[in-house]
Amino acid sequence: MFVNNYLSSVTKQFGYYKALGDSTFSQLSEWELLKELEVDSNSVGIIVNHLVGNMKSRWTDFLTSDGEKTWRDRDTEFQDVIKTKSDLLIKWEEGWQCVFAAIETIDEENFDSIIYIRNQGHTITEAINRQLCHYSYHIGQIVYLGKLHKGNAWQSLSIPKNQSEAYNAQRFSRDKAITHFTDDV
Distance between CA atoms of residues 127 and 65, nearest Å:
13
Note the pTM of the prediction, 2 decimals: 0.94
Measure the CA dihedral 84/88/90/94, to 10°. Answer: 150
State the pLDDT confidence band at 178, using cuts at 50, 70 and 90: confident
Number of independent structural domains in the chain: 1
For residue 35, give its domain range.
2-184
Distance between CA atoms of residues 3 and 108, nearest Å:
6
Angle at CA of residue 180, ends 98 and 125, nearest 5°: 50
State the pLDDT confidence band at 140, using cuts at 50, 70 and 90: very high
SS3 call for 37: coil
The CATH number that applies at residue 148 is 1.20.120
Instruction: Using the predicted structure, report yes or no on whether residue 183 has a pLDDT greater than 80.
Output: no
The pLDDT value recorded for residue 138 is 98
Rounded mean pLDDT, 13-20:
98
Predicted confidence (pLDDT) per residue in 44-64, tens digit: 999 999 999 999 999 999 999
